[in-house]
A and B are shown apart, each in its own frame.
Chain A
Amino acid sequence: MLNRKKWKLTTIILLSLLVFVGCSGDSASSEGAGGSGSGDSFAIMANLHTPEVPNDKILEKIEEETNKEIEIQWVPDNNYEDRLNTAFATNSLPEAVFLKNQSSFIQFRDAIEDEQFWEVGQYLDQFENLSKLKDTVLDNTRINGKLYTLYQGRPLSSQGLIYRKDWANNLGLEEPTTTDEFMEMARAFTEDDPDGNGEDDTFGLTDRSDLIYGAFKTVSSWFGTPNNWGEQDGQLQPEFMFDEYKQTMDFFKEMYDNGYINQDFPVTSKTDQQEFFKNGTAGMYVGSMGDVVSINNDAVAINPDVEFDVQNKIKGPDGEYGVWSIPGYGSLVMFPKSAVETEEDLLNILDFFDQMMTPEIANLSYWGIEGEHYEVEDDRALPSDDKALTDREVKPYMSIGIGEPETNGRYESKFDYDIKEKAEELTKENEEYLIEDPTVPLYSETYVDDGARLQEIITDATYNYIIGQIDEAGFADAIEDWKSQGGEAIIEEFNASE
């Protein structure tokens, strides 16, 4: 009898276990499809800029404050576009999806026009904080007058030069104010032994395999090249058809031929590029001036005597200073209809982002916990010296924030390091000299479909011209190639939509 009972019990336990496993399996798979989740618990796909996924400390606080349950799907910055496209192709996007930048936004335009994402413009007025988002920036993200995304603000242009102040002092050089002086500094840093060790072991500018966020585009603005597109004879033309673009290429070619720039820059990674600067091989860096903090931190560890400075206003041959600007947003968040099923769910998710724009939560997600990750001084936030700690616990969450300090009320930043303070000032100053991209509000179907592939032709040709693999005629051929493969149509379509 007892034996039989035992058998029964075991069977029941086994059966219930089976059912249990079956159920949990089900819920796991439906979660994977990204379709589940009401508005109170949802997933966000976001960009991870640090090497490691952060711990939950800040997220738990955010969840507590906003009363939502959030799962963040972190995707490393390097393959964000691949993952985004793959998730989209397999219909497994989560409820809220961040787009990395303007070019992914352009790529998704077709799908957005096809009403695959929720139109959010009509709801913004219902939310106290979301309605504060700047109209000028929102206008840059509208499609056919409708708004599908919320933006994360970014300074319009933080581009400028960071250079070795101590080297310049050694050689008696002033900060460069024209492109000629820039070239002279690059020459002197290469040839005149700026570190005074008697060896020919330095060069001027360190650059990387990126024509946009590397040095090239910023230098091209100094020469007065338009930002992506510009007007010539009353017609919109791509930047590389302008003479200023060619002057910039010649400028780089001169630096390349004379060895003032790293000779393998078309294949150099950002890490290697900064390494040359940090370890005292190169003396000039063109890019985001805010990078001076992390560069200084690492450089001082190698050589305590280094001294950096930042400079933005470098005038071109025409005596004017200009700098290219982004359209006011860094990343954008949108809401796929495949995952967010009802209007009610959408409002719930928007409510979360509305709360993200209150000063308390904006500070929490951007700066961390006061007293632990930052201090408040003069009404500004001073981040903790323990960079490893903030990297691990706070920094990744910056990528899910919405708006900018003006709209979400979070603290502006304060730094112990006065050069960083100067960099922030110069970033503000840049706003008076911006060169904007005139095609941001315009539409070209060919550009959406083929623009990225066509741009590759020009990018390749630009590098090859600089390193001397093709000449002027070769570059002209590349432009013809660009035109014949669809560029002609892009020019027409942009001009027609103006």
Chain B
Amino acid sequence: METTTLTAKEEAKQVKKMKRSETWRRVKRNKMIYLMILPGLIYFLIYKYLPMYGLIISFQDYKPYLGIFGSEWVGLEHFNRLFTSSEFWMIFKNTLVLFGLQIFIYFPIPIIISLMLNEVRHSFFKRGVQTLIYIPHFMSWVVIVSISYVMLTLDGGIVNAILETLGFQKVNFLLNDDWFRPMYILQVIWREAGWGTIIFLAAITAVDPQLYEAARMDGANRFRQMWHITLPAIRNVIIVLLILKIGDVLELGFEHVYLLLNSSNRNVAEIFDTYVYVAGLQQGQFSYSTAVGFFKGAVGLVMVVFANWLAKRFNEEGIY
């Protein structure tokens, strides 16, 4: 018995060794090709990994004039303060709610628009619509938020003026915390939905036309074709984009939320990004805000790994 296990182990070792030398041989053979990834690798090392050493300050009582090496080590104190602070759960919840809105409300919209555009027969009209819905993507959040402000304000805003002439009560859109979330997601949709269709439209054009032909022969109508051919064909793309989106779980657009934030909607609008900005850059609590940012990054990482695992569980291709 013993000998057999030994040989089995040895065999495994042998196989491993062979595999490794195989890999090396391949690398050697294609060394020029491997060399080509070097610039990219260096870029990530220098600009993405190297700056991470700054995370050390989240475990210190960082004083700029003492530097990273001179500041006092306080361990998990800042994390402790974060998790016990009364604001933590509020911020965590707000972040998750906005994330949920992004996934469940915003994410499907570009897919629906792509499917609709795909059904448009008139190519001139289709291109025209495509171009028009790309435009908002190139406007900055400042412009979009300002336009909404001018339209929604109680002091002469057009929306309230219309409501009033129709005999409705004026609505305090800007200072009411119930309106923050709808306003946020509508602005996101208005700006990004058109731009988001690009990848889906590209995926749709790659579908084999013979499949549609065959389906038509079998008597499938337009809707059936869409459901049984187009959607399954772009399923991979949808899942990859969804995983990437989930990876951005806590990247909800600092600029956008910060512009919408005010005294009356802070309880629903304060998210990690805005909190880090105010605590770190405006109030100078460098270590604490680094700790908050660190936590946010860690949550994002866990979410990506989880989403990827989930995709693989369902027999789909993940992103790695």
Q: Do A and B bind each other?
A: yes
Within 8 A of B (CB), among A452-471: 452-453, 456, 459-460, 463-464, 467, 469
The 0/1 profile, CB within 8 Å of A marked 1, for residues 237-278 of chain B is: 000000000000000000000000011101000000000001
CB pair A464–B281 under 8 Å, yes or no, is: no
A480 nearest CB across to chain B (Å): 11
Q: Any chain A CB within 8 A of the CB of B219?
A: no
CB pair A114–B65 under 8 Å, yes or no, is: yes
Specify which of A82, A116, A268 is in contact with B282 (CB 8 Å cutoff): A82
Q: Is the interface of A mostly helix, strand, loop or mixed?
A: helix
- How long is the Cα–Cα vector from A459 to B177 in the complex, in angstroms? 16
Q: Any chain A CB within 8 A of the CB of B187?
A: no
CB pair A89–B286 under 8 Å, yes or no, is: yes
Specify which of A85, A86, A460, A467 is in contact with B266 (CB 8 Å cutoff): A460
CB pair A453–B279 under 8 Å, yes or no, is: yes
Q: A114-B65, A267-B174, A464-B264 are in contact. Are A107 and B153 (CB under 8 A)?
A: no
CB pair A111–B86 under 8 Å, yes or no, is: no
CB pair A114–B64 under 8 Å, yes or no, is: no
CB pair B282–A467 under 8 Å, yes or no, is: no
A458 nearest CB across to chain B (Å): 10
CB pair B65–A467 under 8 Å, yes or no, is: no
CB pair A264–B155 under 8 Å, yes or no, is: yes
Q: Any chain B CB within 8 A of the CB of A294?
A: no
The 0/1 profile, CB within 8 Å of B marked 1, for residues 203-227 of chain A is: 0000001000000000000000000
Q: With a CB–CB cut-off of 8 A, which chain B residues contact A116?
A: 65
Q: A452-B283, A459-B263, A460-B263 are in contact. Are A91 and B64 (CB under 8 A)?
A: yes
- How long is the Cα–Cα vector from A452 to B282 in the complex, in angstroms? 9
CB pair A267–B86 under 8 Å, yes or no, is: no
Q: Any chain A CB within 8 A of the CB of B149?
A: yes
CB pair B263–A111 under 8 Å, yes or no, is: no
- How long is the Cα–Cα vector from A107 to B283 in the complex, in angstroms? 8
CB pair A266–B63 under 8 Å, yes or no, is: no
Q: A107-B283, A276-B155, A452-B283 are in contact. Are A266 and B264 (CB under 8 A)?
A: yes
In which size bucket is the chain B interface?
Answer: 20 to 34
Q: With a CB–CB cut-off of 8 A, which chain B residues contact A495?
A: none
Q: A116-B65, A467-B264 are in contact. Are A264 and B154 (CB under 8 A)?
A: yes
Q: With a CB–CB cut-off of 8 A, which chain B residues contact A264?
A: 153-155, 172, 174-175
Q: In the complex, what residue of chain A is closest to B66 when comparing beta carbons?
A: A114
CB pair A266–B263 under 8 Å, yes or no, is: yes
Q: In the complex, what residue of chain A is closest to B177 when comparing beta carbons?
A: A469
CB pair A267–B65 under 8 Å, yes or no, is: no
Q: With a CB–CB cut-off of 8 A, which chain A residues contact B262?
A: 209, 266-267
Q: With a CB–CB cut-off of 8 A, which chain B residues contact A464?
A: 263-264
In which size bucket is the chain A interface?
Answer: 35 or more
Central interface residue in A88, A89, A485, by most chain B CB within 10 Å:
A89
Q: In the complex, what residue of chain B is closest to A481 when comparing beta carbons?
A: B86
- How long is the Cα–Cα vector from A116 to B70 in the complex, in angstroms? 14
Q: Any chain B CB within 8 A of the CB of A90?
A: yes
CB pair A107–B65 under 8 Å, yes or no, is: no
The 0/1 profile, CB within 8 Å of A marked 1, for residues 44-75 of chain B is: 00000000000000000001110100000000
Q: Any chain B CB within 8 A of the CB of A81?
A: yes
Q: With a CB–CB cut-off of 8 A, which chain A residues contact B86?
A: 481, 485
Specify which of B63, B65, B281 is in contact with A85 (CB 8 Å cutoff): B281
A466 nearest CB across to chain B (Å): 10
Q: Any chain B CB within 8 A of the CB of A444?
A: no
Q: With a CB–CB cut-off of 8 A, which chain B residues contact A107?
A: 283-284
B178 nearest CB across to chain A (Å): 11
Q: With a CB–CB cut-off of 8 A, which chain B residues contact A266?
A: 175, 262-264
Q: With a CB–CB cut-off of 8 A, which chain A residues contact B64?
A: 88-91, 111
The 0/1 profile, CB within 8 Å of B marked 1, for residues 113-144 of chain A is: 01010000000000000000000000000000
CB pair B281–A82 under 8 Å, yes or no, is: yes
Q: Can you list 13 A-B contacts with CB-CB less than 8 angstroms, sorted by A residue number?
A: A85-B281, A85-B282, A88-B64, A89-B286, A90-B64, A262-B155, A263-B153, A263-B154, A266-B264, A267-B174, A268-B155, A460-B266, A485-B86
The 4 closest A-B pairs by CB, nearest first: A263-B154, A463-B263, A460-B263, A89-B64
Please report B residues at the A interface, Cβ cutoff 8 Å.
Answer: 63-65, 67, 85-86, 149, 153-156, 172, 174-177, 262-264, 266, 278-286
Known: A110-B63, A456-B278. 12 other contacts (CB 8 A): A88-B64, A89-B284, A91-B65, A263-B154, A264-B175, A266-B175, A267-B175, A267-B262, A281-B155, A460-B264, A463-B263, A463-B264
